[in-house]
Amino acid sequence: MAQNKPPRINFMAAIHSMIVGGAERICEDILLRIDRDRFNPILLCMREPGPLAETVAREGIKVYSNLISDKYDFTVAMRLQRIMRQEEIHALETFGSGEKLFWGRLCAKWAGVPVITSSLHKTFIKGKTHSVEFLNRMLWGLNDRIIAIGEASKDYLVKYEAVPEKKVTVIYNGVDLEKFKPHPPELRIKSELGVPEENQVVGILAVLRPEKAHRVFLESAKIISQELPRVSFLVVGDGGERTKLEEFSSELGLDGRVIFAGNRSDVPEVLSIFDVAVLCSDPYIETLPTAILEAMAMAKPTVATEVGCLREMVIEGSSGYLVPVRKPKELAEAVSKLLKNPELAQKMGQEGRKRTEELFSIERMVGKREELFEEILKQKRII
């Protein structure tokens, strides 16, 4: 006689909206990759759904959105509780701080949701002791777990956000290893972007904001170009700083050497032409940057500033180099070392790929959550 399957676990992901961003893509990956035989995923957007919610909805996942009009809209409490009871939610995960963290957890508690978790992606905010609001920090007791995306993030949450250490579980974010896998440089991309075919490429993939420190990247490009004439520098991404950065690049005499590619939908193809991937962010912005994970998955050697969880991602001298913040000379030296030694660069790239396979796959990221939700539900004798 066939055994009856256990009922599926109704899992809800609560987020501000599903615009295109790092946390939003992680949320999308979890919803799309979670085992649909064991879990019934549901998306809750406090504000507008955004384009990634459309992707999720096309896969048959129920989406709730536009649930709060402003931060003083207290009627949201009734709406959220009604939805959670109606969907018989077993496990909730909130993404980020703000209203979804506050109302998501509070309403889940009132609605009798058995498992309440929160994923926080921050380590440090410039000029602030705390990045999580006072009321949210007072409500950690509602959480069964707080998910940190790295050991450095866990240390920050415990030290600065008053999170009880016993409640923190570290689950690294993941990258799609099939989508981002090593393959030969796509020369059509070089041609399209105006990069000479024979040139090596040093690239940075990041939104153009001050804290991403693109000026440091450009200053290091000036130093490198004085020694290595057959190198092009690719800036992938867009943002409010673009005009200023283009002007600064011209002031440095880098016209023709630095190419501003803007936002690209074909990131794996663009990464294929990188010889070295760079990220030179300030410490108050990065936690576990997806751009570096994608470059590592593509077997590209990386040079990054030693901030956030980068030490857990890039193994110094093995899969890449870590350099001090706002030090263009040190950045240039590390990049030049890799450009001058292609065998070393290839070896480091392979080590990076190996590390993503071991620790930073989407399958691992999602699987660890599945295990966590089931473990807590079993402890509470819900399943």
Q: What is the pLDDT of residues 85-125, one digit of tens each?
A: 999 999 999 999 899 999 999 999 999 999 999 999 866 65
What three-state secondary structure class fits 317? Answer: coil
Question: Which among 305, 318, 303 has a CA at the least distance from the CA of 354?
Answer: 318
The DSSP code sequence of 67-92 is: --SSTT-TTHHHHHHHHHHHTT-SEE
Task: Please say whether the dihedral angle defined by the alpha carbons of residues 259, 262, 265 and 267, taken in this order, is positive or negative.
Answer: positive
181 in a structural domain: no
301 in a structural domain: yes
At residue 117, the pLDDT reads: 98
**What does residue 370 show for φ and ψ, rounded to 5 degrees?**
-55, -45
CB-CB contact of 27 with 44 (8 Å):
no
Question: Which among 265, 296, 259 has a CA at the least distance from the CA of 278?
Answer: 296
161 in a structural domain: yes
Mean pLDDT of 329-346: 98
Q: Same domain for 86 and 122?
A: yes
At residue 1, the pLDDT reads: 43
For the stretch 70-79, contacts whose Cβ atoms lie closer than 8 Å and that sit 24 or more positions apart, written own/partner, are 71/99, 76/46, 76/103, 76/107, 77/103, 77/106, 77/107, 77/110
At residue 71, the pLDDT reads: 81
At residue 37, the pLDDT reads: 96
Query: Distance (Å, rounded) from C-alpha 260 to C-alpha 258?
Result: 7
Q: Same domain for 95 and 192?
A: no
Q: Same domain for 217 and 169?
A: no
178 in a structural domain: no
Confidence at 2, pLDDT banded by 50, 70, 90: very low
16-20, 50-54, 212-216: least confidently modelled range: 16-20
The CATH number assigned to the domain holding 122 equals 3.40.50.2000
Tokens of 265: 């939908």
148 in a structural domain: yes
Task: Please say whether the dihedral angle defined by the alpha carbons of residues 94, 99, 104 and 109, taken in this order, is positive or negative.
Answer: positive
Query: Distance (Å, rounded) from C-alpha 297 to C-alpha 305?
Result: 19
Q: Same domain for 270 and 131?
A: no
At residue 207, the pLDDT reads: 86
Q: Which residue has the higher pLDDT, 125 or 18?
A: 18
Q: Same domain for 350 and 212?
A: yes
1 in a structural domain: no
Instruction: Report the chain's mean pLDDT, rounded to a whole number.
Output: 94
List Cα–Cα distances, 71 to 77, 100, 102, 135, 161, in angstroms.
12, 10, 11, 13, 22
At residue 276, the pLDDT reads: 98
Q: Same domain for 228 and 336?
A: yes
Q: Same domain for 290 and 351?
A: yes
318 in a structural domain: yes
Beta-bridge mates of residue 276: 202
Tokens of 115: 């498992």
* Helices first, then strands: H and E counts in the chain: 15, 13
pTM of the entire predicted model = 0.92
Q: Same domain for 346 and 326?
A: yes
List Cα–Cα distances, 107 to 74, 83, 98, in angstroms.
11, 10, 14
Domains in the chain, number? 2
Q: Same domain for 230 and 161?
A: no
For the stretch 62-70, contacts whose Cβ atoms lie closer than 8 Å and that sit 24 or more positions apart, written own/partner, are 62/87, 65/17, 68/99, 68/103
**Sheet containing 320-323: which strands, arranged edge to edge?**
258-262, 231-236, 200-205, 276-279, 302-305, 320-323
Q: Same domain for 80 and 167?
A: yes
Q: Same domain for 52 and 123?
A: yes
Tokens of 145: 């777990």
At residue 283, the pLDDT reads: 79
Cβ atoms within 10 Å, residue 269? 15
What three-state secondary structure class fits 339? Answer: helix
180 in a structural domain: no
Tokens of 375: 């473990």
Domain holding 248, by residue range, is 187-359
Confidence at 3, pLDDT banded by 50, 70, 90: low
Q: Same domain for 143 and 22?
A: yes
Confidence at 126, pLDDT banded by 50, 70, 90: low
